[in-house]
Amino acid sequence: MLEKSLAFSRLDNAFARFLSQRSALIDDQQRAFEDLARFMSYHQSQGHNCIRINQEHKSLVLASGLAVLAEQAYTPLPLVVEHDRLYLHRYWHYENQLALKIQAMTHTRQPPQPLDTALDRYFPPTAEIDWQREAAKIALTQCFSIITGGPGTGKTTTVVKILALLQELAEPPLHIALAAPTGKAAMRLQESIGANKAALPCTNAIKQLIPETVTTLHRLLGATPPSPYFRHDADNPLVHDLIVVDEASMVDLALMSKLLAALKRGARLILLGDQDQLASVESGAVLTDLTAALPLHTLELKKSHRFGGIIKEFAVAVNQQQPEAAWQCLQKPNETVSLLASDLISYIAEQQNNYLMLVKNEATFSVIYNAFNRFQVLCSNHQGKKGVRDINYRVEQKLFAQKRIYLSGQWYAGRPIMITQNNAALHLYNGDIGLCLPDKDQDNKLMVFFQDANGQIKKQLPSRLPACETVFAMTIHKSQGSEFEEVLLVLPDTINPVLTKELLYTGITRAKKTITLSASKAIFTATVSQKIERVTGLIDKFKQVTDSPNQ
Could you tell me which residues are annotated as the binding site for ATP?
Answer: 149-156
Strands across the sheet containing 457-460: 457-460, 445-451, 433-439, 416-419, 468-470
- Run of H or E residues at 434: strand 433-439
Phi, psi (rounded to 5 degrees) for 405 = -135, 165
Distance, CA of 71 to CA of 8 (rounded, Å): 31
CA end-to-end span of the chain: 38
Helices 155-169 and 183-197: crossing angle in degrees, nearest 10, is 60
- The annotated binding site is made up of 149-156
Instruction: Quote the CA–CA distance of 279 and 381 in Å, as a whole number.
Output: 16
DSSP-assigned letter for residue 340 = -
**Among 48, 12, 78, 89, CA closest to 253:** 48
Helix, strand, coil share of the chain (percent; to 5): 45, 20, 40
For residue 155, give the nearest of 113, 187, 188, 127 by alpha carbon.
188
Residue type, 114: P
Phi then psi for 140, rounded to 5 degrees? Answer: -75, -25
How is residue 265 annotated by DSSP?
Answer: T
Residues 6+ apart with CB under 8 A from 419: 428, 429, 430, 431, 432, 433, 434, 465, 466, 467, 468
Element (H, E) at 121: helix 116-122
Classify 95 as helix, strand or coil: helix
